[in-house]
Amino acid sequence: MNDLVCISHLRWDFVWQRPQHLLSRLSKTHRVLFVEEPMVRADLSAPMLEVFQGKGAPNVTVMRLLYPGVDGQWIGHGDRRTQHIYARWLTRYLQAESYVRPILWLYTPMAAPFVNVINHRLLIVDVMDQLSAFKGAPAELVKYEQMILPRADLVFTGGVSLYRDKQRFNKATHLFPSGVEVEHFAQACDRSRIECPAEFAQAARPVLGYFGVIDERMDLDLLRHLAEARPNWSVVMVGPVVKIGHDDLPKAPNLHFVGQRTYDELPRYLAHFDVALIPFALNDATKYLSPTKTLEYLAGRKPVVSTPIHDVVELYGEAVHVAHNPEQFVQAVEAALAEPADARRAVQDRLLTMHTWNDIASRMNALIQAQLERTTLRSYEHAANRPQANVSA
């Protein structure tokens, strides 16, 4: 098995998304170490290292640096307070656990300081979001990205817009839009066999639902308009609220924010959606967005209504109702509710067949193995052409 060290801006046990889907599959042929950002703990007097098995993936080990500080404080990769400590402890761990020139896989450019510290065979950058456009993004992020992308042996991108933006930095850039675990979300197809979640068991029908992170990308004014325009509809938002305050969320009797649920629980919620929503705003944070939930909704055979996010329109537009303003969004929901259940079945089937996480991980692994072979061949050729020292009798 090859060794793979992934350095991520996301936590393994947060919302189950692209890193978890891919690395849990790659862990079948790779020993995976998932290195999270430092975590601040008020009860500590000195830094410490935490290492544990990743939930849902027995072959993934998770590492995080715990650092003393004030609860709620955030420290990311590359921070001057922690980077030298993290790098030293990580390299010691790799040596102690016999990681030999691992594949180094980055999800954030802020992990760039690790590149010169970890002796690696391959450098892979998987660009799942335009992180520089996110609220609170570090000022150094763009500089690090422009430095690290040309050095990568392989660059993967999670959407069409990201691919077009990143291929100018590296010819070895490959498009891998996010996928879906069809069987998991297909559980939502038969509502009669799944108990309705208590949070909206008494909610009026129809139920318009969303699951995912609720942050600065969300069009809160659209949600407010939707709830007010049709007070007899229920809008259910499933997911954690991050980087915005709960006080910023719109309030209405028929608008329900129920909090984060596990990946395993999502089909139960999806089963009781009458229409699935992608209510993102059009702003810098969503310019390169390619929402994973689109295919998950389709796997549950739900009609989907979305704002005109570029990648949603380009990749899935024929399977999704697209609305350009709040009034059109209400009309699109009405059209979705009236649409026969099998109206877009053939299109859904084609998209679901094209984009599975198993297939994506397999194709990525094929590129990785081919690159490893090229790297090994170059090493042999370099050794063969190296001048030999004269040895006298």
Is residue 392 one of the residues assigned to a domain?
A: no
309 and 294 in a common domain: yes
Q: Kind of pairing, strands 60-68 and 48-53?
A: antiparallel
Q: Are residues 96 and 231 in the same domain?
A: no
Looking at residue 214, which CATH number applies to its domain?
Answer: 3.40.50.2000
pLDDT in tens, 126-139: 999 999 999 888 98
Q: How many CB atoms lie within 10 A of CB 230?
A: 17
Provide the residue range defining the domain that includes 28. Answer: 2-179+358-385
Q: Tell which residue, 69, 76, 73, has the closest CA to residue 139.
A: 76
Mean pLDDT of 177-189: 96
Which range among 43-52, 314-323, 371-380 shows the weakest confidence by mean pLDDT? 371-380
Q: What is the count of structural domains for the chain?
A: 2
Residue 337 structure tokens: 């509710």
Judge if 296 and 369 occupy the same domain. Answer: no
Read off the pLDDT of each residue in 180-200 and give the average, rounded to a whole number: 93
Q: Are residues 169 and 56 part of one domain?
A: yes
pLDDT tens across 5-36, in order?
999 999 999 989 999 999 999 999 999 999 99
Q: How many CB atoms lie within 10 A of CB 358?
A: 12
Is 393 contained in some domain?
no
| Cα 137 to the center of its chain, rounded Å | 16
Select from 305, 343, 334 the least CA-distant residue to 322: 305
Mean pLDDT, residues 119-123 taken together: 97
What's the predicted TM-score (pTM) here?
0.90
Q: Which pLDDT belongs to residue 342?
A: 85
Q: What is the pLDDT of residue 385?
A: 60
Statement: residue 56 has pLDDT above 90: no
> Do 25 and 166 have their domain in common?
yes
Please give the pLDDT value at position 391: 38
